[in-house]
Amino acid sequence: MTRKTVTSIQKPLKSLVVNGGQRLAGQIVVEGNKNAALPLLAACLLTDQVCWLTNMPRIKDVEVMGDLLRGLGATVSGLGTTKLQLCCAQLGSYEPDRTLVGRLRGSVLLCGPLLARLGQVRLAPPGGDFPARRTLAVHLQALKAMGVRSVEDGSGDYVLEAPEGLRPASVYLEEASVTGTETALLAAVAASGESEIRHAACEPHVVELCRFLTSMGAEVEGAGTPTIRVAGGCRLGGAEHQLDGDYIEAGSWVVAVAVTGGELDVRGVGAEPLEPITSVLRRMGLDCKIEGAKLSLRPSSPVAIRQVTTAPWPGFPSDMVSLISVLATQAQGRTLIHDWMYELRLFALEQLSGMAGNLFICDPHRMIVDGPAQLIGRTLDSRDLRSGMALIAAALAAKGTSRIHPLETVERGYAQLVERLIGLGADVEIEEG
């Protein structure tokens, strides 16, 4: 087999220039869940039949995953739109393009399907947010239990082989990792026999992957619980699936508008996935309510709460902790932010101190925020996707001009970001280079 490489012209990175102090108002319709889109795209590799995915988010991460699939020999139509058609009938490589892998942590989700189809995979170290702090230990644990062996060749790549095919297994994941659970699922549906995944992640996007695999012909039980059972080995066919709305994106926009004293209607996501977020927002004094598939925010005066702590589903999501920290800078009183799930995520928010925010980072997992503070515009570094969006929210609330760089980091997970900000009344523009 030959390796297909996707080449692209490197463009100058962009900055977002924000003139803060504008009160935002309007409506946002969120697209499909980013955290569901990537595993669903990887699942299409498990069949040689055509699959359709609708309500896909028009974000950079989906484009990268689509290019990775194309590099492996798949036909992908509709990238850049909300409807994708995929056919993975002819795979010409077991080595995803290493440059693209270096941009996307979700590329690890390709391992199970490639092992199922081709019996081997060579994966460069995945990139994305915090690549040095998130290991693939849980993924490798699950794959090795299913008969996969690791080959050490000194390259630093993950070279995995399953020459006799994947075999069913009973796996206890040492961490309830979302992508680790998804890797185990994608491998288990191809292993002939019954597999059990214990201490599985319960997030809505894991449930969505189970639904999609079931529509392809797999037998999956226990989705949304810590124990998932898979009767694998069935020939999987094509399927069509409409993605659920992105509840993290919805929560992000609510915070970004709330810190400006504005009002917002967010459509496209149901009440249940939003509940862990809206519960905390209401405790912090935000006037928000859910009616059907609409989340409404009215002008509010935020107040501090004693502590916000992240937790696996259905707890408060770690992906929202950066944004809730910015909300705390505008709340009356002191709030302790505790993200015990990921260390150092809060360190990107040190930059709020330079904006006159009153905060103290206690350790890699905890931060104390005193508010309210009149933030002052400055140049900001979007070091990861979620803190980048949080810093944009801070810039919207700030007095003066801020520059957030690079904008591409935030565009990985937020579709039509600049257009939507302008539509809400923000004074923003893109600065090249």
Stretch 346-373: mean pLDDT: 96
What percentage of the chain has pLDDT greater than the value 90? 91
Separation of alpha carbons 385 and 272, rounded Å? 24
Region 34-234: CATH code: 3.65.10.10
Using 50, 70 and 90 to split pLDDT, how confident is the model at 128?
A: low
What percentage of the chain has pLDDT greater than the value 70? 96
Angle at 344 between CA 342 and CA 346, to 5 degrees: 95
Using 50, 70 and 90 to split pLDDT, how confident is the model at 10?
A: low
Stretch 146-161: mean pLDDT: 94
Separation of alpha carbons 61 and 51, rounded Å? 19
Look up the pTM and report it.
0.94
Task: Kindly report which listed range (153-162, 235-244, 339-348, 415-424) carries the lowest average pLDDT score.
Answer: 339-348
In single-letter form, the type of residue at position 425 comes to G
3-state SS of the chain is CCCCCCCCCCCCCEEEEEECCCCCEEEEECCECHHHHHHHHHHHHHCCCEEEEECCCCCHHHHHHHHHHHHHCCEEECCCCCEEEEECCCCCCCCCCHHHHCCCHHHHHHHHHHHHHHCEEEECCCCCCCCCCCCCHHHHHHHHHCCCEEECCCCCCEEEECCCCCCCCEEECCCCCHHHHHHHHHHHCCCCEEEEEECCCCCHHHHHHHHHHHHCCCEEECCCCCEEEEEECCCCCCCEEECCECHHHHHHHHHHHHCCCCEEEEECCCHHHHHHHHHHHHHCCCEEEEECCEEEEECCCCECCCEEEECCCCCECHHHHHHHHHHHHCCEEEEEEECCCCCCHHHHHHHHHHHCCEEEEEECCEEEEEECCCCECCEEECCCHHHHHHHHHHHHHCECEEEEECHHHHHCCCCCHHHHHHHCCCEEEEEEC
Q: Answer yes or no: is pLDDT of 197 > 60.
A: yes
Q: Answer yes or no: is pLDDT of 24 > 70.
A: yes
Q: Cα dist. 123→95, 115, 202 in Å?
A: 6, 11, 27
Stretch 407-416: mean pLDDT: 96
Considering the segment(s) 14-30+245-432 as one domain, its CATH architecture is Alpha-beta prism (3.65)
Separation of alpha carbons 238 and 50, rounded Å? 5
Q: What is the pLDDT of residue 224?
A: 97
Catalytic site residues? Answer: 129
Domain with CATH 3.65.10.10 in the chain: 14-30+245-432, 34-234
47-100 tens-digit pLDDT: 999 999 999 999 999 999 999 999 999 999 999 999 999 999 999 999 999 999
Separation of alpha carbons 299 and 254, rounded Å? 11
Q: Answer yes or no: is pLDDT of 3 > 70.
A: no
The mean predicted confidence, pLDDT, of the chain is 94
Q: Answer yes or no: is pLDDT of 5 > 80.
A: no
Stretch 260-274: mean pLDDT: 96
Taking Cα atoms as reference points, which of 117, 152, 99, 98 lies closest to residue 42? 117
| Under 8 Å between Cβ of 415 and 392 | no
Q: What is the pLDDT of residue 433?
A: 75
Q: Answer yes or no: is pLDDT of 129 > 70.
A: no
302-353 tens-digit pLDDT: 999 999 999 999 999 999 999 999 999 999 999 999 998 888 789 899 999 9
Q: Answer yes or no: is pLDDT of 7 > 80.
A: no
Q: What is the pLDDT of residue 130?
A: 53
